[in-house]
């Protein structure tokens, strides 16, 4: 198993708890590194979830910090979960490390807020739309590569129908809906898929149509909110320059505000449904 394929949120929580217990014990990262006979950068990377924590290191750190009982068991359990393989491991040869990390974060989310000005969000795409979009984005990809990426995109959609479904709030620019991806038939089926999704209790879909005033010129982004309040929100950006994950509170807060403004500018859910129905009628 590639070490990048662990549950990123659990890895982050392990690091956060270790840092909290180190601080409570009055120890510096350098002191911990000296005791473990390792570099201070290794301790820092574990606390920041840049690398997975090894069981032996965690055991030694917990002993140093005097952590026992339920608090100790929580970290042991989290460490075990963070090393379990996940379904996307089977596709690691087709996916970048950062994209695998994003899928892991997405899988642990309680709510996803996404803005898409160019194409339909991946969690709401049909198989044919996804195939056409991937082929357009990666024209050099082989049929096998495209098949694998379509499978991944469809597998991600299980988040919306699992027993504890993620809540999805999606703001789609009208351009993302009118831009033809594949054939007219593919677009028709995609519109119907969006209509079906908009009726789901855990999905809120809003259209930012051309007639609505909006000063926002940002590119696509996804805000990831986790079940635990102590787990900070994350922003995921995907563009031609490469994927990027933002975690610094000041930067995340800017995207929170941007999303609130976009949602306020967009049509409400009922009007957005009516907008999609008009698109379907117009293509007949």
Q: What is the pLDDT of residues 221-275, one digit of tens each?
A: 999 998 877 677 889 998 766 788 887 889 999 999 999 999 999 999 999 999 9
Domain boundary (31, 52, 82) is at 82
152, 72: one domain: no
87 lies in some domain: no
What letter would DSSP give residue 203? E
Residue 44 phi/psi, 5° resolution? -65, -40
What's the domain count of the chain?
2
Cα(196)–Cα(273) distance, integer angstroms:
10
202-233 tens-digit pLDDT: 999 999 999 877 666 789 999 999 887 767 78
Half-sphere exposure of 250 (CA within 13 A, CB side): 0
**Measured CA distances, 129 to 94, 132, 135, 221 (Å):** 19, 5, 10, 20
19, 157: one domain: no
The helix-helix angle for 40-47 and 29-36 (nearest 10°) equals: 110
Helical (H) or strand (E) element with 234:
strand 234-237
127, 206: one domain: yes
What SS3 class is residue 205? strand
88 lies in some domain: no
162 lies in some domain: yes
Domain boundary (55, 82, 109) is at 82
Token code pair at residue 151: 């499978």
- Pick left, alpha or beta for residue 116 (phi over 0 → left; psi -120 to 50 → alpha; otherwise beta): beta
Q: What's the confidence (pLDDT) of residue 7?
A: 61
What SS3 class is residue 196? helix
Token code pair at residue 50: 């840049």
219 lies in some domain: yes
44 pLDDT more than 90: no
Domain boundary (82, 104, 136) is at 82
**CATH number of the domain where residue 212 is located:** 3.30.870
77, 144: one domain: no
> Which residue range(s) make up the domain with 32?
3-82
**CATH number of the domain where residue 56 is located:** 1.10.260.40
Average pLDDT of span 82-105: 77
Does the reported pTM lie above 0.85?
no
């Amino acid at each position: 198993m590639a070490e990048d394929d662990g549950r990123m949120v659990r890895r982050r929580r392990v690091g956060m708890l270790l840092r909290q217990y180190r601080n409570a014990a009055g120890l510096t990262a350098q002191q911990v590194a000296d005791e473990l006979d390792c570099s201070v950068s290794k301790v820092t990377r574990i606390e920041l979830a840049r690398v997975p924590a090894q069981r032996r290191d965690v055991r030694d750190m917990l002993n140093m910090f005097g952590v026992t009982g339920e608090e100790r068991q929580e970290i042991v359990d989290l460490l075990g979960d963070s090393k379990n393989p996940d379904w996307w491991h089977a596709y690691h040869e087709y996916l970048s490390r950062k994209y695998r990390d994003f899928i892991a974060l997405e899988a642990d989310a309680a709510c996803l807020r996404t803005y898409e000005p160019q194409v339909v969000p991946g969690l709401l795409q049909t198989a044919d739309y996804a195939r056409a979009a991937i082929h357009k984005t990666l024209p050099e990809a082989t049929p096998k590569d495209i098949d694998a990426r379509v499978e991944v995109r469809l597998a991600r959609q299980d988040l919306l129908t699992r027993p504890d479904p993620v809540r999805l709030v999606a703001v789609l620019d009208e351009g993302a809906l009118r831009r033809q991806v594949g054939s007219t038939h593919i677009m028709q089926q995609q519109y119907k898929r969006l209509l079906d999704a908009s009726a789901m209790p855990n999905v809120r879909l809003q259209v930012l149509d051309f007639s609505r005033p909006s000063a926002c010129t940002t590119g696509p982004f996804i805000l990831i909110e986790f079940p635990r309040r102590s787990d900070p929100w994350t922003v995921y950006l995907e563009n031609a320059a490469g994927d990027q994950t933002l975690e610094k509170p000041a930067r995340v807060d800017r995207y929170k505000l941007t999303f609130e403004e976009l949602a306020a500018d967009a049509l409400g859910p009922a009007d957005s449904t009516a907008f999609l129905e008009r698109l379907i009628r117009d293509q007949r």
